[in-house]
Amino acid sequence: QKEVEQDPGPLSVPEGAIVSLNCTYSNSAFQYFMWYRQYSRKGPELLMYTYSSGNKEDGRFTAQVDKSSKYISLFIRDSQPSDSATYLCAMSRGGSYIPTFGRGTSLIVHP
């Protein structure tokens, strides 16, 4: 079992839909949870960063962490074609530990 599991998709939704992207993990020591967005032919861009459990909202994006279930989510409200990208989750134990990344989920928002 991989430490971080993420469905690669693709996930195709109509413009305006609410998108839910998810990752599961097995290492209970993870404390820091991140979402990156990667457009085609670009490097990953940090989108959301959360410490421990709970929710964090930034505009149309909400990151949710459920440590009891070892499950994290990224919600995108009112999705736009410009949201079409690959979304990678990442998580870390903190300190000197390097984050572990998921495979990424390809999202396509069609007009």
Partner 1 sequence: SAVISQKPSRDICQRGTSLTIQCQVDSQVTMMFWYRQQPGQSLTLIATANQGSEATYESGFVIDKFPISRPNLTFSTLTVSNMSPEDSSIYLCSERTSDGGETQYFGPGTRLLVL
User: Contact letters (x/-) for partner 1, 8-27, by CB under 8 A?
Assistant: x-------------------
State yes or no: residue 59 binds partner 1 (CB under 8 A): no
Q: What's the start-to-end Cα distance of the chain, in Å?
A: 37
d(CA 67, CA 54): 9
For partner 1, which residue of 104, 105, 107, 109 counts as binding (CB under 8 A)?
Answer: 104
Q: Under the criterion CB under 8 A, does residue 77 sit at the interface with partner 1?
A: no
C-alpha 48, offset from chain centre: 8
Which segment (54-62, 65-73, 77-85, 96-104) binds partner 1 by CB under 8 A?
A: 96-104
Cβ-Cβ contacts under 8 Å for 8 (sequence gap 6 or more): 103, 104, 105, 106
Closer to partner 1 by Cβ: residue 31 or 84? 31
